[in-house]
Amino acid sequence: KAGVTQTPRYLIKTRGQQVTLSCSPISGHRSVSWYQQTPGQGLQFLFEYFSETQRNKGNFPGRFSGRQFSNSRSEMNVSTLELGDSALYLCASSGGQGGNSPLHFGNGTRLTVT
Amino acid sequence: LAKTTQPISMDSYEGQEVNITCSHNNIATNDYITWYQQFPSQGPRFIIQGYKTKVTNEVASLFIPADRKSSTLSLPRVSLSDTAVYYCLVGAFGSGYALNFGKGTSLLVTP
């Protein structure tokens, strides 16, 4: 099975712009979650989608949004970029049902805001 | 949401066994314990998962005492390539979770 695929791998944007990141989950996985990783804050949960519905959301401002399509692929959007949004953005998929469905991560999108 | 506590860092020599303990005092009945390994600029990789007692796979063992308030990841005979950050996660996946990875344990393996 192919793993979780995130595109693009690297992005450089300037302050005030907006960006969209893409995630293709493992085939058959219906849950997709997003995380932001920075050296200072570690891995922080952004939100999780299951069958096109957002099931849970972390403590991030409304500039961070996401969606999931009927084929379980997901996109994450960040508007009005700030320097502090520079981070590794990770997507993970799981079967989404049952207490023992571990997360499978992609290798992330490295976003640099200048 | 169960809070986890792990050592910030650990050092080991090649060939030794490494045990990393994670405390999770407020673990809920439905929660599973999962460990991940992360290398720089890569996503975390699933290592092992358990609910109670002991679980073993080809790369690690996971020991969980009866009260489930802690767990220990055991890496037998580590090599230089095991240098990574290890995260302990506690949660009931699949029910709309908001997982807290914490800062993890940075393991350094030297010759």
Question: Does the pLDDT at position A1 exceed 90?
Answer: no
Residue B28 pLDDT class (50, 70, 90 cuts): confident
Instruction: Work out the minimum CA distance from A11 to partner chain B, whole angstroms.
Output: 14
Q: What pLDDT, on the 0 to 100 scale, is given for residue A21?
A: 98
- From chain A, pick out residues whose CB is under 8 angstroms from the CB of B101: 35, 42-45
- Chain B interface disruption, residue of A29, A33, A34, A43, most B CBs within 10 A: A43
**Radius of gyration of chain A, Cα coordinates, nearest whole angstrom:** 13
Over residues A67-93, the pLDDT tens digits come to: 999 999 999 999 999 999 999 999 999
Angle at A65 between CA A61 and CA A68, to 5 degrees: 155
Instruction: Work out the minimum CA distance from A18 to partner chain B, whole angstroms.
Output: 23
Percent of chain A at pLDDT exceeding 90? 74
The mean pLDDT value for A23-45 works out to: 91
| Contact between B105 and B7 (Cβ < 8 Å) | yes
Q: Is A23 on the interface with B (CB under 8 A)?
A: no
d(CA B49, CA B31): 11
Residues of B with CB under 8 A from a CB of A: 30-32, 34, 36, 41-46, 49, 51, 87, 92-104
d(CA A107, CA A88): 9
Over residues B43-52, the pLDDT tens digits come to: 999 999 999 9
Instruction: Work out the minimum CA distance from B111 to partner chain A, whole angstroms.
Output: 27
Candidate from A45, A55, A107 with C-beta closest to B99: A45
Question: Does the pLDDT at position A108 exceed 70?
Answer: yes
Q: What pLDDT, on the 0 to 100 scale, is given for residue B98?
A: 59
Q: Of A56, A60, A53, give the one whose Cα is nearest residue A74.
A: A53
Question: Does the pLDDT at position B1 exceed 80?
Answer: no
Q: What pLDDT, on the 0 to 100 scale, is given for residue A95?
A: 78
Mean pLDDT, chain A, whole residue set = 92
Residue entry with tokens 């997982």: B99
Tell if the CB–CB gap between A107 and B93 is shorter than 8 Å. no
d(CA A108, CA A110): 6
Mean pLDDT, chain B, whole residue set = 90
Q: What separation in angstroms does the CA of B52 have from each of A72, B84, B93?
A: 32, 25, 16
Q: What pLDDT, on the 0 to 100 scale, is given for residue A100?
A: 73
Over residues A42-66, the pLDDT tens digits come to: 888 899 999 899 988 888 999 999 9
Q: What pLDDT, on the 0 to 100 scale, is given for residue A36?
A: 95
Q: Is A32 on the interface with B (CB under 8 A)?
A: no
The mean pLDDT value for B9-26 works out to: 96
The mean pLDDT value for A7-31 works out to: 96
Tell if the CB–CB gap between B32 and A56 is shorter than 8 Å. no
**Radius of gyration of chain B, Cα coordinates, nearest whole angstrom:** 13
**DSSP characters over A22-78:** EEEPPTT--EEEEEEEETTTEEEEEEEEETTEEEEE-S--TTEEEEE-TTS-EEEEE
